[in-house]
Amino acid sequence: MTIFGKTISEYIRFQLPVLIFVAVVGLLRLVLSLAGLPNATVKWVSVSVAGLIGVIYYGIRVHTEGFGGFRHLLPLVLIQNVVTQALIISAIALAIVTGQDNIYTAPEYSVDIRSGASGVEGKTWIHAAGHAVFGLVVGSLMMWAIASLILLVTRAVIRGTKPPAPPVELR
């Protein structure tokens, strides 16, 4: 299966270091939380910041590596967001099953989407579903917009230079 002329494995190969980075940060955040460190400390290990670093990376490297254009950014950010949301949903499920809050379900970081009230229970399947739907769809579109803006700036800064030819695979 191809998406915009590239296979999923090509996208993953291009972004593998970022996917590993995001997964390690997300798991480290969970482990530190479960180890009993205060949330005020653990919050500095941010999967959101790790994801933003990935988005910046894609916005620059898609052009400089000759990987593609704006449309190729969407599968990249979607794949990254699937990894991120799967990790978060798993952490929420772990909290539901064990009854023990972690950084992903702590009331101080949970918001009721209907009322906007903060400090609500984070160990709910509704919270997990919100990440599966809202986090995945809206989050991916927001990241795509940011990556596209970065690509636009990158193209303007590197104007007149031709991106390198993609590496030749030996078969």
Query: What DSSP line would sit under 64-115, residue for residue?
Result: HTT---HHHHHHHHHHHHHHHHHHHHHHHHHHHHH----TTT-GGG-B-TTT
For the cut 60, the answer to whether the pLDDT of residue 1 exceeds it is yes
Measured on CA atoms in the order 87, 28, 110, 96, is the torsion positive or negative?
positive
| Residue 76: per-residue pLDDT | 97
- Average pLDDT over every residue of 133-154: 95
For the cut 90, the answer to whether the pLDDT of residue 169 exceeds it is no
| Residue 24: per-residue pLDDT | 97
Residue ranges per domain, the chain?
A: 2-157
Q: What is the β-pairing status of strands 2-3 and 6-7?
A: antiparallel
pLDDT tens for 79-103 read: 999 999 999 999 999 999 999 999 9
Q: What are the structure tokens assigned to 53, written together?
A: 């670093």
Greater confidence (170 vs 123) lies with: 123
- For the chain, what is the mean pLDDT? 89
| Residue 165: per-residue pLDDT | 64
Global confidence as pTM? 0.84
Q: Which residues pair with 7 in a beta bridge?
A: 2
Measured on CA atoms in the order 7, 13, 19, 20, is the torsion positive or negative?
positive
Q: What are the structure tokens assigned to 132, written together?
A: 């599966």
CA distance 142 to 147: 9
| Residue 108: per-residue pLDDT | 77
For the cut 80, the answer to whether the pLDDT of residue 161 exceeds it is no
pLDDT tens for 100-122 read: 999 999 887 766 666 555 666 78
Do residues 30 and 104 make contact, with C-beta atoms less than 8 angstroms apart? yes
